[in-house]
Structure 1
Amino acid sequence: MFELDVQSRRPIYEQLMDNFKELMINEVLQEHNQLPSIRILAQELEINPNTIQKAYKQLESDGYIYTLPGKGNFVAPPESIKNPLKEEKIRNELTKVLSEAIYIGIDKHEIYKLVKDISPLAKEGDS
């Protein structure tokens, strides 16, 4: 379920966060689904529980999950993640990546197709 590279220079908690975000984006984890407990996940992944705790705290800070005391951590609804600074950062990153893609010769129709393939919402928006 999780791909962690202990040889990577990227911290394990960041890799874990990316894995959770990917599961949420691909709707494997849907809103209000409960996440595994820190203790159980630490045992399964054979990593320090403090690493899981750090990832969960950052995911909560970013709005991806919420905590119910005594019950655990849950996936937040996508609309709760809305953050103007985060949106601006993503727009800037997309602009940079798309500009580079066009510069190296990737056809704009291929880029449009990628966007359609990524998001069912993009397909609906074309009508």
Structure 2
Amino acid sequence: MISLNYRDSRPIYEQIEDGLRKLIVTGALGADEKLPSVRALAAQLAINPNTIQRAYNELEGEGYIYSVPGKGSFASANAGADEARRRELLGKVRELLAELRYLGVSQQELTDLVKEVFA
């Protein structure tokens, strides 16, 4: 499900966030599907439950998951609906596009890539 890289400069909770976000965005975790409990995922990854809780809190703040008291955390049906997160990602895309343009990537190559992603 999620693998951690202890040589990565990013904190563990960010790696967990990214892993879960990827599972949700790609559809590996469907809408309203239950995520592992904080304790279960912490035991599986052999890390502190507080680290998992922090990742879950961040994902909930971004709109990727939601919590139901007494039931657990679930993948959101409208993952990424948070407007601030949307603006942040669009800014990153602009930066990447500017760099790709500088490196000589053609508009047609980028158009083909976008069509591939949205297919």
1:94 aligns with 2:93: yes
Shift of 1:68: 0.6
Question: Where do 5+ consecutive residues of structure 1 fail to align?
Answer: 121-127
1:112 aligns with 2:111: yes
Higher relative contact order (CA 8 A, sep 6+): 2
Question: Where do 5+ consecutive residues of structure 2 fail to align?
Answer: none
1:55-87 deviations in Å (ceiling 9; x for gaps): 0111111111111111100011126x3233322
Give the match's secondary structure for 1:66. Answer: strand
Q: How many residues align?
A: 119
Q: How do 1:44-63 residues align onto structure 2 when only pairs under 5 Å count?
A: 44-63=44-63
1:70-123 deviations in Å (ceiling 9; x for gaps): 1100011126x3233322222221111111101111122111121122223xxx
Aligned equivalent of 1:9: 9
Give the match's secondary structure for 2:99. Answer: helix
Q: Greater CA deviation, 52-61 or 84-93?
A: 84-93
Over the matched positions of the two proteins, sequence identity in percent amounts to 39
Aligned equivalent of 1:84: 83
Give the match's secondary structure for 2:4. Answer: coil
